[in-house]
């Protein structure tokens, strides 16, 4: 089911092909802004505002609808750094951020009952080095379709009621 699960004025919500956090430990979604940019400041004021509204609505929706987040929270992590790694496409080439990085926001559910050592409650997340990412993420299950649907339903409601 990986791919875009929502598209709107604030951008897209994506269930990634490679999740960095098991659904039972909190779940993982990515929110792309409405325009491809390498740095947030490159977005127009309106696009940045809409993206921020979407990020906040999705994070709150995850807290509201995912039972595994009872008593928990979410972490927001703006990323794009792995695209700059020498081993990333174009392999071996030194990369400059404006040409290779694309802003996106990871939203990680943080469960007080998380079992994976990289996601222990009360600790900062521990993401692997680029070269280890696939092995590290191999056992993580993505959010299920019904969970994604519930998140998007609730996020849409929040967008309409709070940010319209």
Question: In this predicted structure, what is the pLDDT of residue 163?
Answer: 92
Q: Report the C-alpha gap between 139 and 119 in whole angstroms.
A: 14
Give 7's contacts (C-beta < 8 A, 6+ positions apart): 13
Question: In this predicted structure, what is the pLDDT of residue 106?
Answer: 98
What residue spans define the domains of the chain? Answer: 3-14+29-162
Question: In this predicted structure, what is the pLDDT of residue 94?
Answer: 87
Contact between 84 and 97 (Cβ < 8 Å) = yes
Question: In this predicted structure, what is the pLDDT of residue 12?
Answer: 98
Question: Is domain 3-14+29-162 annotated with CATH 3.40.50?
Answer: no
Q: Report the C-alpha gap between 112 and 121 in whole angstroms.
A: 5
Tokens of 23: 């659904």
Question: In this predicted structure, what is the pLDDT of residue 2?
Answer: 85
Q: Report the C-alpha gap between 20 and 112 in whole angstroms.
A: 17
Question: In this predicted structure, what is the pLDDT of residue 80?
Answer: 86
Question: In this predicted structure, what is the pLDDT of residue 164?
Answer: 82
Q: Chain centroid to CA 151: how far?
A: 13
Distance in Å from the first CA to the final CA of the chain:
29
Q: What is the DSSP letter of 25?
A: G
Q: What are phi and psi of 84, to 5 degrees?
A: -95, -5
111: helix, strand or coil: coil
Question: In this predicted structure, what is the pLDDT of residue 70?
Answer: 97
Q: What is the DSSP letter of 77?
A: E
For the chain, 164 residues long, give each residue's pLDDT as a single digit of tens: 789 999 999 999 999 999 999 999 999 999 999 999 999 999 999 999 999 999 999 999 999 999 999 999 999 999 888 999 999 988 877 889 999 999 999 999 999 999 999 999 999 999 999 999 999 999 999 999 999 999 999 999 999 999 98
What pTM was estimated for this model as a whole? 0.95
Neighbour order of strands in the sheet with 3-8: 3-8, 11-15, 28-32, 104-110, 73-79
Contact between 57 and 120 (Cβ < 8 Å) = no
Question: In this predicted structure, what is the pLDDT of residue 92?
Answer: 79
């Amino acid at each position: 089911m990986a791919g875009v699960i929502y598209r709107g004025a604030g951008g897209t919500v994506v269930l990634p092909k490679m999740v960095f956090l098991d659904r039972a430990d909190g779940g993982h979604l990515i929110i792309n802004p409405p325009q491809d940019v390498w740095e947030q400041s490159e977005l127009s004021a309106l696009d940045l505002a809409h993206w921020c509204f979407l990020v906040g609505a999705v994070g709150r929706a995850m807290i509201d609808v995912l039972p595994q987040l009872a008593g928990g929270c979410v972490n927001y992590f703006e990323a794009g750094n792995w695209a700059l790694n020498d081993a990333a496409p174009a392999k071996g080439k030194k990369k400059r951020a404006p040409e290779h990085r694309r802003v996106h926001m990871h939203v990680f559910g943080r469960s007080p009952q998380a079992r994976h050592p990289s996601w222990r409650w009360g600790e900062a997340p521990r993401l692997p080095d680029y070269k280890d990412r696939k092995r590290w993420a191999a056992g993580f299950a993505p959010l299920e379709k019904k969970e994604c649907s519930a998140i998007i339903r609730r996020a849409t409601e929040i967008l309409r009621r709070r940010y319209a």
